[in-house]
Chain A
Amino acid sequence: MKKYECPTCGYVYDPVKGDPDGGIAPGTAFENLPDDWSCPVCGAAKDMFEPLDED
């Protein structure tokens, strides 16, 4: 499962951790986040996120 990065603040969504405070269970793939989920740090919309190229 890929990590995704918020372009506004740099927050990284890690599917392994999820976003428990936002009601997202650990193990939830980015693609399966609800459309109205937003960045916990800056509130940017889900569709602004970019896949992170792991190196």
Chain B
Amino acid sequence: MSKTDYVIAGAGVAGIEAAAAIRARDPDGRIMVVGEEPHPFYARIRLGELIDGRVGVERLILKKDEWYRDNSIDLRTGVRVEGFDTKAAVADLSDGARVQYDRLLLAVGARPFMPPFPGSDLPGVRTLRTIDDALKIKSLAADARAAVVIGGGLLGLEAAVSLVNSGLDVTVVDVSRWLLPRQVDPKGGGVVQGILEGMGLHFRIDAKVGSIEGRGRVESVELAGGESLSASLVLVAAGIRPEVGPARDSGIEVDRGIKVDDRLTTSAHGVFAAGDCAQHRGRVYGIWPASEAQGRIAGAVMAGEKASYEGTIPLNTLKIAGVAVFSIGDIDPENTGDTETLQSGHVYRRLTRDEKGRLKGAVLVGDIKERRRIIAAVGEGKPYPEKG
């Protein structure tokens, strides 16, 4: 059995930020990062660009081999942490190695959620989370004429644009009444939809998938309303499920994610969790900036520092195919209060105020330059724009 000071399961942003934070505080500690994917840490957010060839795999790799070498980080790619014994403090790796650790970080991310549609197991039905997923979708797209994307959230829209860029006829199906319902109001969603329709996407909003059909491989998506959309590629973007398996199997407390406190500590001694797999104050963020912050703080705590994580402000700054969308606070989608909306072409701005004229929330589409001032005004409960 080998011994090391720190074992990090998962070579995503949370795991790598943690490794860097540990190294900054503990120059001599032995750090091992075990990553199931064959690729070293990369820009997962940009996988859509890999599908349509805007970038290659090389550009996505965020830290080169020298970084691991210069920081003496023992990176094992293509290897899983299969399980661990929290009492003995031993982790079992998929290559047969057993490693004794002082501190273990679970930074194992999340898996795409596949709703149980009939036919979801047909060849040609895919999800997108990894470089290998993206390359597989890219090769399927090369032979496909039409695709259906199930789920019109951030990831679904980004992937749909990539497929259009690849020359496919693409329809996005979503059950919600407007696009990005958690980020923008109906009118803002309409503006986003208009921009994307201008790029050639088709939409079926407020529409439910009944089943996925095909003989031997996918041929169509059947909507509950009766419509049939033919497609030889179906991308399901129906959200994520935090990877809780290995933690649960070793008796660590899990809920939707692996439960952690403000020090990113799990219910087991010496075991920490960060990123998409972690649930902090009841919340699983599922976003890059939160995973990065959690990884950084987990690393600091693991190296003995008194750091704590208070949460990440859920500001929504999105970039869908180059279209910037920003929202904050109460966006009053039902139009119950005092709102000011302004639309000119593909630029949309909506401000929500209370009875005293103080800014409560905002949605910006297309041009988000104002957001700093808006964040300040919402934070301080001030009127906006301030009168001179």
Query: What is the interface of chain A, defined by CB distance below 8 A to chain B?
Result: 7-10, 21-22, 40-45, 48, 50
Q: Please report whether the interface of chain B is mostly helix, strand, loop or mixed according to DSSP.
A: mixed
Bound CA span A21–B318, Å: 24
* Chain B 289-325 interface mask (CB, 8 Å, partner A; 1/0): 1001000000000000000000000000111001010
B43–A41 touching, CB < 8 Å: yes
How far apart are the CA atoms of A9 and B319 in the complex, in Å?
Answer: 10
Given A43-B49, A48-B319 in contact, is the A7-B368 Cβ separation under 8 Å? Answer: yes
A40 in complex: contacting residue of B62, B289, B318, B319, CB < 8 Å: B62
Q: Are B59 and A42 in contact (CB under 8 A)?
A: no
Q: How far is the CA of A27 from the CA of B43 in the complex (A)?
A: 24
On whether the beta carbons of B372 and A42 are closer than 8 Å, the reply is no
Contacts of B324 in A (CB 8 A): 44, 48
Q: Is the CB of B368 within 8 A of A41?
A: no
The 5 listed contacts between A and B (C-beta, < 8 Å) are A21-B61, A43-B45, A43-B55, A44-B324, A48-B319
CA distance in complex: A36, B289 (Å): 24
A40, B288: Cβ atoms under 8 Å?
Answer: no
For the complex, what is the distance from the CA of A21 to the CA of B60, rounded to whole Å?
Answer: 10
- B59 partner residues in chain A, CB cutoff 8 A: 21-22, 40
B322 adjacent to A40 (CB under 8 Å): no
Cβ contacts under 8 Å, B289 to chain A: 9-10
CA distance A6 to B322 in the complex (A): 13
Q: How far is the CA of A22 from the CA of B372 in the complex (A)?
A: 28
B62–A7 touching, CB < 8 Å: no
